[in-house]
């Protein structure tokens, strides 16, 4: 049996394979962030398709943190019943599902939320996007909001939570020297820039207890001028590991970066896959917790190789599952042909049009 189908553990979770669905935005929720039957079916299909661990779409923890239209919300108790129904459908197929908790920060739009976007500090890279620089009270309130959101996720039946600190969203902005130019205890050296992460982690732990799995999605680097670099990102990961973090999903890049964005296009050969593999190897050598590697994975044999050689413990994908929710079952059956996703990013266009993401290319074919 392939190492990819071994039974493993992340904290208290027992997983039957090493394939993870990385969270994305589906654009299928109600306007207030509530779950819909279509979005529930989406996650149920992933469970039926054999995904070992499903990380549900980035859910905003407070109204001003909404980053995209029809995004899942987890900012009020009234959303719990819909989330619970979806989780129950996933569990009915033996699926394991974790809720990602997020705040859009500067990427949130006042025209959509009705509130000023929160930003860590002024940054020329986004100077055309209006916002409000966060006060210390705002920062203190942020940790509380993440803690309450985690409590809602647990009450809804999720098997764990994941903190989203990648791609230039709010927590990623705190870590980036380019975006964080604060002069107080939340700016300057990496120990200050990651302070909010520790405060949020502790707030979540207080809300969910010591045995509930807590993960993080973390940029290995921003790949922009003066952005977060791997050596500083590793400091953050090690600090969270000491606090009791259960696993790390390693990603990179920010949304406004074209060539080195988190969702790179034209991945048509293995040398273009797993584009954070070198950083993953460095992190694995310096961490004891499980590492989930995301970023352009398309081939089963490369995934198997990276796990076997110790570059990662799990492999995470998003776009391939948009086209093939049953990809893991296909690979397990013996059909090891690469994922059919051609990385053209056309799947996001119907989402931006309010129709929800889907594989446009598969429909054309």
Q: What is the pLDDT of residue 338?
A: 96
- For residue 20, the model assigns a pLDDT of 98
The model's confidence at residue 347, banded by pLDDT at 50, 70 and 90, is very high
Using pLDDT thresholds of 50, 70 and 90, give the confidence band for residue 267.
confident
- Checking if the pLDDT of 365 tops 80, the result is yes
Q: Is the pLDDT of residue 111 over 90?
A: no
Q: What is the pLDDT of residue 129?
A: 64
- The mean pLDDT value for 296-320 works out to 97
pLDDT digits (tens, 9 = 90+) for 14-48: 999 999 999 999 999 999 999 999 999 999 999 99
pLDDT surpassing 90 at residue 110: no
The per-residue pLDDT for 268 is: 85
Task: Please state the rounded mean pLDDT for residues 77-96.
Answer: 98
Q: Within the chain, what is the greatest distance between any pair of CA atoms?
A: 56
Within 10 angstroms of residue 342's Cβ, the number of other Cβ atoms is: 19
Q: What does the domain layout of the chain look like in residue ranges?
A: 3-363
Nearest to 278 by CA among 261, 300, 295, 259: 295
Element housing 195 (H / E): helix 195-208
| Mean pLDDT of the 3-23 span | 98
Lowest mean pLDDT among 151-155, 199-203, 220-224, 256-260: 256-260
How far, in whole angstroms, is CA 216 from its chain's centroid?
8
Mean pLDDT across the chain: 95
| pLDDT value at 303 more than 90 | yes
pLDDT tops 90 at residue 232:
yes
pLDDT digit string, tens, across residues 331-340:
999 999 999 9
144, with CB counted inside 10 A (0-12, 13-18, 19+), is: middle
Q: Is the pTM of this model over 0.85?
A: yes
d(CA 312, CA 304): 10
| Closest listed residue to residue 188, CA positions, set 198, 197, 175 | 175
DSSP β-bridge partners for residue 317 = 21
pLDDT average, residue stretch 338-364: 92
Q: Is the pLDDT of residue 127 over 60?
A: no
CA 293 distance to own-chain centroid: 11
**Domain 3-363: CATH class, spelled out:** alpha beta
Q: Which of 326, 342, 318 is nearest to 25 (CA)?
A: 318
High-pLDDT (> 90) share of the chain, %:
87
- Contact between 240 and 288 under an 8 Å Cβ cutoff? The reply is no
Q: Is the pLDDT of residue 86 over 90?
A: yes
Instruction: Report d(CA 181, CA 122) in Å as an integer.
Output: 7
- Name the one residue in this structure whose structure tokens are 């964080």: 180
Choice between 192 and 109, residue whose per-residue pLDDT is larger: 192
Mean pLDDT of 256-280: 85
| DSSP codes joined into one string, 261-315 | -SS-S---SGGGSSTTHHHHHHHHHH--S-EEEESS---HHHHHHHHHTTS-SEE
């Amino acid at each position: 049996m392939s190492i990819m189908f071994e039974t493993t553990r992340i904290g208290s979770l027992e997983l039957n394979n090493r394939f993870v669905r990385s969270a994305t935005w589906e654009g299928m929720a109600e306007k207030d962030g509530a779950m819909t039957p279509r979005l529930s079916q989406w996650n149920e299909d992933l469970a039926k398709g054999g995904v070992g661990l499903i990380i549900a779409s980035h859910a905003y923890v407070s109204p001003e943190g909404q980053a995209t239209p029809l995004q899942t919300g987890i900012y009020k108790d009234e959303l719990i019943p819909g989330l619970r129904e979806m989780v129950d459908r996933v569990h009915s197929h033996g699926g394991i599902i974790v809720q990602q908790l997020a705040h859009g920060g500067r990427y949130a739009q006042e025209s959509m939320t009705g509130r000023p976007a929160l930003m860590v500090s002024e940054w020329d890279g986004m100077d055309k996007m209006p916002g409000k620089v966060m006060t210390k009270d705002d920062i203190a309130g942020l940790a509380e909001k993440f803690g309450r959101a985690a409590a809602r996720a647990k009450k809804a039946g999720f098997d764990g939570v994941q903190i989203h600190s990648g791609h230039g969203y709010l927590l990623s902005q705190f870590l980036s020297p380019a975006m964080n130019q604060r002069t107080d205890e939340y700016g300057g050296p990496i120990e200050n820039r990651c302070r909010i992460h520790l405060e949020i982690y502790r707030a979540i732990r207080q809300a969910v207890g010591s045995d509930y799995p807590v993960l993080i999605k973390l940029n290995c680097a921003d790949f922009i001028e003066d952005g977060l670099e791997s050596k500083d990102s590793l400091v953050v990961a090690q600090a969270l590991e000491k606090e009791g973090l259960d696993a790390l999903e390693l990603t990179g890049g920010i949304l406004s970066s074209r060539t080195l964005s988190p969702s790179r296009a034209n991945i048509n050969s293995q040398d273009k896959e797993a584009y954070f593999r070198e950083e993953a190897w460095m992190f694995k050598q310096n961490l004891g917790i499980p590492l989930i590697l995301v970023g352009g994975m398309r081939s089963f044999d490369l995934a198997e190789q990276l796990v076997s050689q110790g570059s990662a413990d799990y492999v995470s994908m998003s776009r391939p599952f948009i086209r093939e929710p049953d990809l893991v079952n296909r690979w397990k059956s013996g059909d090891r042909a690469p994922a059919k996703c051609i990385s053209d990013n056309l799947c996001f266009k119907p989402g931006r049009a309010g129709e929800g993401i889907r594989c446009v290319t598969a429909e054309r074919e």
